[in-house]
Structure 1
Amino acid sequence: MIVKKYVVSDIKEAFEKIRVELGKDAVILSTRKIKKGGFLGIGAKTYIEVTAAVEEKKQQQTEDKGQIYKLQEILSKTKQPQQSPEDITELKKMMLELKSMMVSQRSNEPQWVQDFRKALSKQDIDEEISEKIIEYARVKYQELDFSNENTRLILSEMFLPFLNTSVPEIKGKVMFVGPTGVGKTTTLAKLAAKLKLNDHRRVGIITLDTYRIAAVDQLKTYAMLLDVPIRVAYTPKEAKLEIEALADYDIILIDSAGRSQKNELHMTEIKAMSEIVEPDYVFLVVGMQYRSEDVKEIASKFSIVSPTHVILSKMDETSSLGHFVNVPTFLNVPIAFVTNGQRVPDDIIEANSRELAVLLSREVLKNARSSK
Structure 2
Amino acid sequence: MIVKKYTVKDIKEALEKIRIELGKDAVILSTRKIKKGGFLGIGAKTYLEVTAAIEETEMKRNVEQEKNQIYKLQELLVKNKQPQSSEDLQELKKMMYELKSMISVQRNENEPEWAKLFRKALNFHDVNTEIIDKIIEYVRIKYGQLDFDDENSRFVLSEVFLPFIQTELPEMTGRIMFIGPTGVGKTTTLAKLAAKYSLNEHKKVGILTLDTYRIAATEQLKTYATLMDIPMRIAYTPKEAKLELEAMSDFDLILIDTAGRSQKNELQMNEIKAMVEIINPDYRFLVVGMQYRSTDMEAITKKFSVISPTHVILSKMDETSSYGHFLNVSHFTHIPIAFITNGQRVPDDILEANRKELSIIIAREVLKHAKSG
TM range (shorter): 0.7 to 0.9
**Structure 1: distance between partners of 2:69 and 2:161:** 31
CA separation of 1:89 and 1:248: change in aligned 2, threshold 3 A: closer
| Structure 1 letter corresponding to 2:282 | D
**Structure 2: distance between partners of 1:88 and 1:273:** 35
**Structure 1: distance between partners of 2:270 and 2:361:** 37
2:69–2:103 contact (8 Å) kept in structure 1: no
Which residue of structure 1 aligns with residue 9 of structure 2? none
In the TM superposition, 1:1-372 aligns within 5 A as 13=67, 15-16=69-70, 31-33=77-79, 82=85, 95-96=97-98, 98-371=100-373
CA separation of 1:215 and 1:108: change in aligned 2, threshold 3 A: same
Classify the secondary structure of the residue corresponding to 1:173: strand
- Superposed CA offset, 1:152-210 (max 9, x none): 11111111111111111211111000000000000000000000011000000010011
Classify the secondary structure of the residue corresponding to 2:178: strand
**Structure 2: distance between partners of 1:168 and 1:186:** 19
Structure 1 runs not aligned, ≥5 long: 1-10, 20-27, 34-48, 52-79
Q: CA deviation at 1:31?
A: 2.8
Which residue of structure 1 aligns with residue 39 of structure 2? none
| Structure 2 letter corresponding to 1:309 | H
Q: CA deviation at 1:219?
A: 0.2
Which of 212-221 and 239-248 deviates more?
A: 239-248
Which of 141-150 and 92-101 deviates more?
A: 92-101
CA separation of 1:138 and 1:192: change in aligned 2, threshold 3 A: same
**Structure 1: distance between partners of 2:260 and 2:86:** 39
2:205–2:252 contact (8 Å) kept in structure 1: yes
Which residue of structure 1 aligns with residue 27 of structure 2? none
| Structure 2 letter corresponding to 1:157 | E
| Structure 2 letter corresponding to 1:16 | I
Q: CA deviation at 1:14?
A: 7.6
CA separation of 1:191 and 1:14: change in aligned 2, threshold 3 A: same
1:166–1:336 contact (8 Å) kept in structure 2: yes
Structure 2 runs not aligned, ≥5 long: 1-64
Q: CA deviation at 1:149?
A: 3.0
1:12–1:98 contact (8 Å) kept in structure 2: no
CA RMSD between the two structures: 2.5
Q: CA deviation at 1:96?
A: 4.5
Classify the secondary structure of the residue corresponding to 2:77: strand
Normalised by the size of structure 1, how large is the TM-score? 0.78
Q: CA deviation at 1:116?
A: 0.4
Aligned length: 309
| Structure 2 letter corresponding to 1:82 | S
**Structure 1: distance between partners of 2:303 and 2:148:** 38
**Structure 2: distance between partners of 1:299 and 1:81:** 33
Classify the secondary structure of the residue corresponding to 1:139: helix
Tell me the percent identity.
60
Q: CA deviation at 1:244?
A: 1.0
Q: CA deviation at 1:300?
A: 1.0
